[in-house]
Amino acid sequence: MKRIFVLVFTIIYFLFACDIPAFATTRTWIGISPLGPEMSRSANWWFGVPDDGDLLQFSTYISARRNVWNDFNGYTFSGITFSSSARETYIEGDSISLDGNIRNESFKLQTLAFDMDLLRSVELYSGKGSYNLEIDGVISGGYNISKTGTSTLILGNTNNYTGTTTISEGTLRLGAANAIPSSSAVTVSSGSTLSLYGYNDTIASLSGSGTVNNNSATEAALTLGDAASKTFSGILANGSTGKLALMKQGSGTFTLTGANTYTGAQCECGRA
């Protein structure tokens, strides 16, 4: 028994002395604090406030707040999940580091309006049907973004992450000009859509077999700007009434092989 006690004590001392973080815990939001919507209030969480490195989960509760204030400035979270029973939630506030995926399993619009720095490549799962995920904060970091889920992901800010952007399912819709950074190579998979929605964007390159459209009454231009040579076999299309324009810059060759229907301007400013 004494040896076991010494061993346990040694392990605990080692963990604290070496500043090794605790295992990540899933923290569930219930939002019932009468004092305010801040995430640091213990009454807003089931079994305690999140620690650095935890996964955040938002689920239903009879008195759950729909407007949430993130005051965990600089914290790292290992993911953010909206469960199938989650209410529509709007979270704003301080910036975080993201070391995991964001998933909307609910049947509601979920909005994240705070900046996040990617510590790894992440999956952004928007959900199914017409229930969407909207990210209005700035996404930064040198990692990739993969959009999954058959509904729509809205990027509502001018982001500066430097990794690739892959649209595997559903629609990625721009909610701001240059929501996809100019350094990001974009792949639109078959059956998925990139919608400019009236906003101009400059990206590194475009490939895949999906659809790129404008889907807005306002004309918008997609500019391809790096030296990579890519082939896009999908469809470039206008919006409801607004046109889609295509601008090609950089020294790479861009090849179109699909039955395109866009009628906006086309500028071959580099090789095309």
At residue 79, the pLDDT reads 98
260-265 contacts, C-beta under 8 A, 24 or more apart: 260/235, 260/236, 261/235, 261/236, 261/237, 262/213, 262/214, 262/236, 262/237, 262/238, 263/238, 264/214, 264/219, 264/221, 264/238, 265/221
| One pLDDT digit (tens) per residue for the chain, 272 residues | 555 443 433 443 333 334 344 457 999 999 888 899 999 999 999 989 999 999 999 987 666 678 999 999 999 999 999 999 898 999 999 999 999 999 999 989 999 999 999 999 999 999 987 879 999 999 999 999 999 999 999 999 999 999 999 999 999 999 999 999 999 999 999 999 999 999 999 999 999 999 999 999 999 999 998 888 999 999 999 988 899 999 999 888 999 999 999 999 888 765 54
Please state the domain extents for the chain: 23-120, 121-272
At residue 75, the pLDDT reads 98
Token pair belonging to 117:
């720095």
User: What distances in angstroms separate CA 12 from CA 2, 21, 24, 57, 65, one per listed residue?
Assistant: 15, 12, 17, 28, 38
Say what the pTM is: 0.89
At residue 14, the pLDDT reads 38
Say how far apart CA 117 and CA 16 lie, in whole Å: 27
Say how far apart CA 175 and CA 144 lie, in whole Å: 19
Nearest to 57 by CA among 106, 96, 120, 129: 106
